[in-house]
Chain A
Amino acid sequence: MSELLKVEGLSVTFGGLKALNDVYIDLHKNEVLGLIGPNGAGKTTLFNAISGLVPPSSGKFSLDGKNSDWPKTHQLAKLGIARTLQGVGLFSGLTALENVMVGAEAHASNGFFADLFGTSGKSEAKLKARAHKALAWAGATAFAEKLPSQLTYPDSKRVALARALVLEPKILLLDEPAAGLGHDEIEKLANLISQLKEFYSIIVVEHNVEFVNKISDRVYVLNFGEVIASGPFEKVRQDPAVLAAYLGTSIAADAKLGTGN
């Protein structure tokens, strides 16, 4: 299998604190990768670094076998990487449909003057059609015209997922997609992810280990900002370092690195 995304030697420091230290991960095509680890292990920091939201102090980034500069946040969509946020992060003043159209618009990537004078009505209609399609994929068609404040938490997560899908990415970064969902919702989400796997390569940060086990082909386990184990879930769960991280030192880890993962 070829490596679609490879991150090597990634370190991130906040002040004096090393949030990530020499992290290596790779992602293969049509694979679901789980990122697990105790609170504050650096999982979301890893996502933030990949999305350019926090600058890495060192690290190499390669996509499709090609080395490139560390990406800036607004370049991700063009590189084919889309991300959902833990806090959902929908635009509060826009309807669900408009939220998704924002992503579709970026995909169209017009020039400055096309932006200034507005694009043609035809392409706007296309935008809307694509946004509707993404909403349908995420099972969110029913509340296209609703504002985020009118949506339940699971529903707003669907809209956020649609906003990522509309970018037609190669890689999906899902930040705690199962958090706050009920049992049935998690079941549905797992099914959706296994369907999406046909078209996308997916990295999932998740606390719910059961869920990760169900959806992931491989997992990476992070602790104190370092990868302590990787491989198929069944193998990793036997690893003594992982057991220690989860059972022995998770409270200490919280206290030491309480950066809200």
Chain B
Amino acid sequence: MNTFISTLITGTANGAIFALAALGLVIVWRGAGVVNFAQMGQAMFTTYIASNLIASGNSYWLAFIVALISGSLLGMIIDLLIMRPLAHKKSSSATKTLAGTIPVIASLGILAILQALAGIFWAGEERGFPTPVNSFYFKNGDGTLPFSAFNLFVIGVVLIVLLSLTYFFTQTGAGLGMRAAALNPEVARLSGIKVSRMRTLSWAISGAAGSLAGLLITPSTNLSPNTLDLILIIAFTAAVVGGLDSPLGAVIGGLILGIGIALVTTYGSPENVFLAILFVLLAVQLIRPNGILGGKQVRRG
């Protein structure tokens, strides 16, 4: 029974992190129409920055905040230097049908560049990453409770982020502006909204969300230029399962995958995790092709 409960809690904590990464993908998809395959590459990069800060004697919390800020800056830089110029490029008739895939391919290029740079700067060695609180199970007399302080920390942090994002998107003018710009750019412009600024803003928010996911997951995956690739695959699956354009869907998708993977690891075998991810993806696509909470119109130019 204890194993089951601890599996559920670990799964929920990991699921919360996947949800965060998936949410980052959804925000850029909705806000800028790009599936950003570079997201966890950005997160890997900023986690290295945090790791270096900690290694040189700074506190975890300073590193934590610096990583989040550099995450949003990196997102903004990618939009300003690469995505915005690409969007303004007129595509010839031959490439027009492919126009939607151009930024996606660019994001794969960015991922490759970030991984190569990390390899150059940090020699690509795999290193651990600390947790701010104890990651061992709580002691309860002679036995243990089926969860750690870090589990609670992760769930708490993600919950706070989700609540503040919900507040931001529903209660603030800027959040409304972002939703409006995503729903109908032309009409949003008529209302005086700077649509390209809203896009940059979604890259910034998504970059910070991805960085946070990186900081929270690397204690269990370790840190190397490629370790977060798997997280991207899981997060992408979670986003698609949720419907790709639904933030709440991304959260549900993340939790399904987190708990599912934990159950497969505990009661099946870790090798079957990939198979389980594929199974979830296929099952959802077969039953609800638009995802659990996806709108009818998922495709966009």
The chain A residues found within 8 Å of chain B, CB to CB, are 51-53, 73-78, 82-83, 85, 89-94, 98-99, 101-110, 112, 114-116, 118-119, 123-124, 127, 163, 167
Contact B192 A119 (CB under 8 A): no
Q: Which residues of A contact B201 (CB under 8 A)?
A: 112, 115-116
Cβ-based interface call for B184 (8 A): yes
**Which of A78, A112, A114 lies at the interface centre, i.e. has the most chain B CB atoms within 10 A of its CB?**
A112
Contact A89 B187 (CB under 8 A): yes
Min distance, Cβ B178 to any Cβ of chain A, angstroms? 9
Closest 7 CB pairs of A and B: A77-B192, A106-B192, A105-B173, A73-B189, A115-B174, A102-B180, A89-B187
Residue-wise, chain B 177-199 has the 8 Å CB interface mask toward A (1 for contact) of: 10110011011111111110100
**Which of B187, B201, B204 lies at the interface centre, i.e. has the most chain A CB atoms within 10 A of its CB?**
B187
Which of B180, B190, B197, B200 meets A94, CB within 8 Å?
B180
23 contacts between A and B (CB under 8 A): A51-B190, A73-B189, A82-B190, A85-B190, A89-B187, A89-B190, A91-B180, A91-B187, A91-B188, A102-B176, A102-B191, A104-B173, A105-B193, A108-B173, A112-B197, A112-B200, A115-B177, A115-B201, A116-B201, A118-B174, A119-B173, A123-B173, A124-B173
Cβ-based interface call for B289 (8 A): no
Contact A85 B173 (CB under 8 A): no
Task: Answer whether A116 and B204 are a contact pair too, CB < 8 Å, given A74-B194, A85-B190.
Answer: yes
Q: Which residues of B contact A112 (CB under 8 A)?
A: 197, 200-201
What CA separation (Å) do A105 and B179 show in the bound complex? Answer: 12
Task: Answer whether A102 and B193 are a contact pair too, CB < 8 Å, given A53-B186, A127-B173.
Answer: yes
Q: Which residues of B contact A52 (CB under 8 A)?
A: 189
Contact B183 A73 (CB under 8 A): no
Residue of A nearest to B195 (CB): A74
Min distance, Cβ A144 to any Cβ of chain B, angstroms? 14
Q: Which residues of B contact A83 (CB under 8 A)?
A: 190
Min distance, Cβ B197 to any Cβ of chain A, angstroms? 6
Task: Answer whether A91 and B179 are a contact pair too, CB < 8 Å, given A73-B186, A127-B173.
Answer: yes
Residue of B nearest to A110 (CB): B174
Residue of B nearest to A101 (CB): B176
Contact A91 B192 (CB under 8 A): no
Min distance, Cβ B79 to any Cβ of chain A, angstroms? 12
Cβ-based interface call for B4 (8 A): no
Contact B173 A94 (CB under 8 A): no
Q: Which residues of B contact A127 (CB under 8 A)?
A: 173
Which of B180, B191, B197 meets A77, CB within 8 Å?
B191
Q: Interface size (B, Cβ < 8 Å)?
A: 28
**Which of A51, A78, A109, A115 lies at the interface centre, i.e. has the most chain B CB atoms within 10 A of its CB?**
A115
How many A-B pairs have beta carbons closer than 8 Å: the answer is 97
Residue of A nearest to B187 (CB): A89
Contact B190 A73 (CB under 8 A): yes
Main secondary structure of the interface of B (DSSP, over half): helix
Cβ-based interface call for B91 (8 A): no
Q: Which residues of A contact B176 (CB under 8 A)?
A: 94, 98, 101-102, 105
Min distance, Cβ A140 to any Cβ of chain B, angstroms? 16
Task: Answer whether A93 and B183 are a contact pair too, CB < 8 Å, given A83-B190, A106-B191, A106-B193.
Answer: yes
Contact B190 A91 (CB under 8 A): no
Residue of A nearest to B297 (CB): A92
Which of B175, B184, B192 meets A107, CB within 8 Å?
B192
Min distance, Cβ A122 to any Cβ of chain B, angstroms? 12
Cβ-based interface call for B172 (8 A): yes
What CA separation (Å) do A73 and B205 show in the bound complex? Answer: 25
What CA separation (Å) do A94 and B183 show in the bound complex? Answer: 9
Given contact pairs A91-B187, A124-B171, a sample of 17 additional A-B residue pairs in the complex whose CB atoms are under 8 Å apart: A53-B190, A78-B192, A91-B179, A91-B180, A99-B180, A101-B176, A102-B191, A106-B192, A106-B193, A108-B173, A110-B174, A115-B197, A118-B168, A119-B172, A123-B173, A163-B191, A167-B191
Which of A76, A93, A123, A124 meets B192, CB within 8 Å?
A76
Contact B192 A103 (CB under 8 A): yes
Min distance, Cβ A146 to any Cβ of chain B, angstroms? 16
Q: Which residues of B contact A91 (CB under 8 A)?
A: 179-180, 183-184, 187-188
What CA separation (Å) do A225 and B238 show in the bound complex? Answer: 52
Q: Which residues of A contact B193 (CB under 8 A)?
A: 74, 102, 105-106
Q: Which residues of A contact B200 (CB under 8 A)?
A: 112
